[in-house]
Structure 1
């Protein structure tokens, strides 16, 4: 174990990379999708303006089905259908208003090779009271603002006994998408880097080596996976790192009081009521007063030690663990390095400090080690 004088030089850890918070609600694509689900007007990806959903023209049948519903009721019906629900739920609702019946009378086809109908369908409108009103197909399409192709799809699925399922975006013809194998290789590469946790904090933060950055990590990844050099660019690696990991580089520059962090989080919380916040505020005030009283007492003892040579006062604390060896070799980032512990004992009389350093192969960080160093310091430096 080595004892050395305190040095004023301190290596400050690098601050973690700043990540902009994602707000998917303001994305153009999501705004467009939300407007489509609500039946509102929007501009498509091709620049075409899509009108809001509304009831169509009269059906023109002899029963005059569309005239059974005034315009106000039509607006209510279509607003309930397009209330932001997903397409699968909307299609299931419409399919539930269609009933399959047997064909009562078959007529001759104009074309000889025309395929005969396999079933007939009845349509109804669901009112707010829960009553179903039978209407014709054209009235059904007009009131709910759906097209003939949508009705044909729902009736075809209804005959086969299948539920409607939205298959948009589920195809595998996206050239820019990465395979699961590539994503697994990226994740395994990031997981190989050793991490350090915060010393004091109410929330655990993990840090990578201060000499690392995402650019270096990407270079190491390409060096190990040359076949992915053209597939995994730095931009994609950086995006994957930010979206899947909350890691920082370096180390926290200052220790944080866990009690202050805990009470501060309670005061800022939106889930607690005013009474609980007032209690947390009072506890924080008492905690800070105790801390101030402690530091005032520490200053008084320091003045006492400086004025009276027969009085001695010391403070001690472990500093942050240091990795060994500290060499600029890229391969060292993948290995678990040997930790070096350092206990600093500060003399309040002459404002001097002494370090007791040792690595984890010699001893642990426990009360036995602290008592050993304290005994050695008193016997060596306290007259």
Structure 2
């Protein structure tokens, strides 16, 4: 197996670095053998030497101990230890033959020159006497300064040569880069058909004299910070079509026309997103405004198990409509099973009704809602009739709905559904409806079981006559509609075919003769 694709961790977070930091600060740590190492212990001992050790109280020794380990650095601690030592020449020697005579003697001092013995000094600092000898003999330079710690400074024998790293970076620079409309415009990617293994093979073929293993190449590739593009699943069909056409068209006039259409499409998608942000701000500032977004989660199987046999069995399906209240960013999940209801506009309108009742719809005067443009669920006569019905039967004065561009929706509900998926993947299995209910509830969402709460909202369509031309005689297209508004006491719907500010608002009258509200 190759190395991990994740980016290398920060040095400060590595186990070895943390171990070193904790050891130098006098804290407990785990060594490389995974053994717990206790922190240095303060010891108060008494001695019978002729120094001032007996004048060094417990509080003074404890203060010296704490200050020493708070230095937190081997170099700083070594400098402190060297400052406690003073070497003095021996003046007189005994006339003892065949014995080694010392030329100097070391005197130790603490707390403003207070003379102490070596044994008391080491025990007060929680170190061994050998460390004092090591500092004096091995680490003291001729100038009297301490030689800095050089451990870990040597380059390992298997370190990748800088020339190899440079050659790989030069090779990667030559590979064409691409940008994606679904991410930051300043971000570049390698073509999705490439892989690290393919790039490694290309590098080896281009540089036969340089032997670079795949692990080394993959590590340098990660540091290059230009990823391989992973195509998204839920992309915009119109954008993909325009990109395909753009690659095949050669005529300048056709290319200009295509670029103009693409610019308008992107403006419409951006305008819809701006409409959502503006509605969110309006709802948080005005207590009379309710802003929501709703979307259906992908169907979930009951039971959800990873056994291969389950893929060949007909399982029960769980349906879920997520409704996100943008005023306080709370989410309500309306769930039901396949026998309890279908997955259409009746079920969507019924779930919205339950949500509005739970939110006390009577305290709002204006509702702003956002969803995708699925005609079977959200963009149809049943949902329009439902919007009219809410404005007529409650204190709501207007309902504005925006259909975001397919592939550009990025609804808050998508984030909510990801939480459910992660929670599901963390479980071994979900066997029944109750466990699904519990799982969604653990995601901190409000859960409404829709069993027995579905309404036949489609009956409301009998109150309207859905025409195919607007008040100005223009043909009305359900699929082209991106924005709509209905108001109380009227059967006239305002609509736009784009959320761009310059797009004119049109009206279409759905009044049915003989129907009086």
CA distance in 1, matches of 2:47, 2:145: 32
1:244-299 Cα offsets, whole Å, 9 max, x none, are 425342567568959979x99xxxxxxxxxxxxx99x76x989xx7999896799x
How far the C-alpha of 1:166 sits from its partner, in A, is 0.7
Which residue pairs with 2:151 in the alignment?
Answer: 168
Instruction: For residue 308 of structure 1, give the secondary structure of its aligned residue in structure 2.
Output: coil
CA distance in 1, matches of 2:116, 2:171: 62
Change (3 A) 1:59 1:44: farther
2:221 paired with 1:241: yes
Change (3 A) 1:21 1:169: closer
* Correspondent of 1:178 among 157, 160, 173: 160
Which residue pairs with 2:19 in the alignment?
Answer: 32
* Correspondent of 1:58 among 30, 37, 45: 45
Change (3 A) 1:258 1:21: farther
1:3-26 Cα offsets, whole Å, 9 max, x none, are xxxxxxxxxxxxxx9746837666
How far the C-alpha of 1:196 sits from its partner, in A, is 2.7
CA distance in 2, matches of 1:222, 1:190: 12
Which residue pairs with 2:474 in the alignment?
Answer: 308
CA distance in 1, matches of 2:28, 2:172: 44
Change (3 A) 1:22 1:49: closer
2:65 paired with 1:78: yes
Which residue pairs with 2:84 in the alignment?
Answer: 97
User: Does the CA-based 8 Å contact 1:208-1:250 persist in structure 2?
Assistant: no
How far the C-alpha of 1:206 sits from its partner, in A, is 1.9
TM-score, normalization by structure 1: 0.53
2:97 paired with 1:125: no
Change (3 A) 1:154 1:295: same
CA distance in 2, matches of 1:199, 1:109: 93
How far the C-alpha of 1:175 sits from its partner, in A, is 3.3
Query: Within 5 A, what are the aligned runs for 1:37-52?
Result: 37-46=24-33, 50-52=37-39
Which residue pairs with 1:7 in the alignment?
Answer: none
Instruction: Report which stretch shifted further, 214-223 or 53-62.
Output: 53-62
CA distance in 2, matches of 1:55, 1:222: 59
2:143 paired with 1:146: no
How far the C-alpha of 1:167 sits from its partner, in A, is 0.7
Higher relative contact order (CA 8 A, sep 6+): 1
* Correspondent of 1:155 among 100, 111, 136: 136
1:50-95 Cα offsets, whole Å, 9 max, x none, are 4421235737342365444444543443233223722122222333
User: Does the CA-based 8 Å contact 2:53-2:115 persist in structure 1?
Assistant: no
User: Does the CA-based 8 Å contact 1:154-1:164 persist in structure 2?
Assistant: no
> Which segments of 5 or more consecutive residues in structure 2 lack a partner in the other structure?
237-265, 286-290, 292-325, 328-367, 372-399, 406-467, 481-495, 498-517
Change (3 A) 1:140 1:110: farther
CA distance in 2, matches of 1:187, 1:25: 26
CA distance in 1, matches of 2:131, 2:220: 38
User: Does the CA-based 8 Å contact 1:54-1:78 persist in structure 2?
Assistant: no
How far the C-alpha of 1:36 sits from its partner, in A, is 0.8
User: Does the CA-based 8 Å contact 1:41-1:51 persist in structure 2?
Assistant: yes
Query: Within 5 A, what are the aligned runs for 1:250-261?
Result: 250=230, 253=235
User: Does the CA-based 8 Å contact 1:98-1:121 persist in structure 2?
Assistant: yes
How far the C-alpha of 1:151 sits from its partner, in A, is 2.0
Change (3 A) 1:309 1:260: closer
Change (3 A) 1:54 1:233: same
User: Does the CA-based 8 Å contact 1:207-1:251 persist in structure 2?
Assistant: no
Instruction: For residue 123 of structure 1, give the secondary structure of its aligned residue in structure 2.
Output: strand
Instruction: For residue 70 of structure 2, give the secondary structure of its aligned residue in structure 1.
Output: coil
How far the C-alpha of 1:113 sits from its partner, in A, is 8.9
Instruction: For residue 176 of structure 2, give the secondary structure of its aligned residue in structure 1.
Output: coil
CA distance in 2, matches of 1:222, 1:297: 47
CA distance in 1, matches of 2:185, 2:221: 20
CA distance in 1, matches of 2:97, 2:215: 59
Which residue pairs with 2:115 in the alignment?
Answer: 134
How far the C-alpha of 1:198 sits from its partner, in A, is 4.4
CA distance in 2, matches of 1:248, 1:136: 66
How far the C-alpha of 1:222 sits from its partner, in A, is 1.9
CA distance in 1, matches of 2:117, 2:142: 19
User: Does the CA-based 8 Å contact 1:213-1:249 persist in structure 2?
Assistant: no
CA distance in 2, matches of 1:258, 1:201: 17
CA distance in 1, matches of 2:69, 2:91: 36
User: Does the CA-based 8 Å contact 1:77-1:144 persist in structure 2?
Assistant: yes
Which residue pairs with 1:226 in the alignment?
Answer: 208
User: Does the CA-based 8 Å contact 2:68-2:125 persist in structure 1?
Assistant: yes
CA distance in 1, matches of 2:188, 2:95: 74
